[in-house]
Amino acid sequence: MALPSNFLASLTAPSVPEVIDWFLEKTKGNEKTGVGVWEWVKEITPVDLYCYLKARFGMPNGLQNVWRNDDSDNLIHWEWCLFCPQGSISILGLNFRTEVWVSGDFDVEDADIFDLAKFIKEDFANYGRQISEVRKSLELWTEFVNPYMRLRRSIETLQRELDSLKLRPETEAIPDITDVQSFSAEAWQTVATRYSKGLGICFGIRSMLPIMAEAYVNLLLFVLMRPDVKNDDRLRENTIRQPIDVRIKSLHMTCVGFERKPDYSHDACKAYHTLVNERNDLLHGNVVPEKLKFNEVHFSGKVPIFKSYRSLWERAVGVEIGAVGLHRLQHEMETVDNLIGYLKSCLNDEMRGSIEIISNKRELGINQKNGRVGILFPDHLVDIRAAYASGKSPVRRAV
């Protein structure tokens, strides 16, 4: 192999000032500073590698630790810069991989990436106690999807798709066949297909709206539930399994941070309660003639006598528009937002600000030790790749 047999043992960790001096010297006069970049994705887990490096060499000493922001929104999260007789090796932790930069008076081969990983893992045993101590000092968080924001984003996506169809039943109804000059079977089919798609989207949105509001209530319970309730399995399960109106009415008792008791007789709550009943009829296919009716007709035996004539558009597309509730969609979206706004208003100022931030994040985290909920990463994903002026990539990857 190209790496010396004692390569791992020869590695030392210089101080940060020494690393800075070395970097300035190497870059003086545009001197080439690197001969190889390796990538590890599966060869060594990031947490094992981090614990080993910290146990053996102390705190990360690379330049990236000087430049990084003091949060989790960084291109590179940690770096160790290590010296050896032949040169240096930098090990960097990114969002999607570990990069190993080798620089100095030796050549590297593709096999070295696997050998170095193997030697490091074999060296774990020599620092077992120290590695264990480092691991114990780390906080373990579990990332999870925020159901409320997942539903809201899905609804907003569907709403944009529905808006793009530009359904305007008041102005684009297809005339009857008696209007020969205007009638076109092709035009009818085109419009009917567009409305069929749009009404399907509308059905989906209306079905999800009450669930989105319920997901917000459940998020409040998850984040703000009183410790004595959260830590008691029976009390916790009983709380989250209550009907939605009971959960809302008792938020001030089951959660911290409420400045006043939610009043379920408030207009926002009453409108939401009506919305839930409408959704149940829609989603479960309940047969409620009073809500589903669209026409009345007399019969003399088997002979229909219409009370009034309705157009082909009204009997076909118009019936579907009424049944799906296209004209009620905007009002129902406002109903859900009004309920959420009302529940926020019941919180104290400090908690309202925290919930506002948490609820708007798609991904959240929970501390495995103390159950604390937090935002671990920004909404955007970032990555970088080294590029040389020659256009050739210096990267060798192990997966």
List the chain pLDDT tens, one digit each, 399 residues: 466 778 889 999 999 999 888 888 777 755 555 567 889 998 899 999 999 999 999 999 999 888 888 888 888 999 999 998 888 899 999 999 999 988 877 677 777 888 889 999 999 999 999 999 999 999 999 999 999 999 999 999 999 999 998 888 877 766 665 665 555 667 777 887 888 898 899 889 988 999 999 999 999 999 999 999 999 999 999 999 999 999 999 999 999 999 999 999 999 999 999 999 887 766 656 666 666 676 778 888 888 888 777 776 666 676 667 667 788 889 999 999 999 999 999 999 999 999 999 999 999 999 998 888 999 888 887 777 765 554 455 555 544
- Give the type of residue at 323: A
Which DSSP string do the residues of 140-194 spell out, in sequence order?
Answer: PEEEEE-HHHHHHHHHHHHHHHHHHH---TTT-PPPPTT-TTT--HHHHHHHHHH
Contact 123, 52 (CB under 8 A): yes
How many Å from the N-terminal Cα to the C-terminal Cα in the chain?
20
3-class DSSP state of 92: strand
Q: What tokens appear for 230 in the block? A: 């959260």
For residue 12, with 0-12 CB atoms within 10 Å meaning exposed, 13-18 middle and 19 or more buried, which class applies? exposed
Contact 11, 84 (CB under 8 A): yes
The whole-model pTM stands at: 0.80
> How, if at all, do strands 373-374 and 395-398 pair?
unpaired
Contact 218, 340 (CB under 8 A): no
Sign of the alpha-carbon dihedral angle for 259, 263, 264, 267: negative
- Taking alpha carbons only, the member of 365, 375, 395, 398 closest to residue 383 is 395
As a residue count, the chain comes to 399
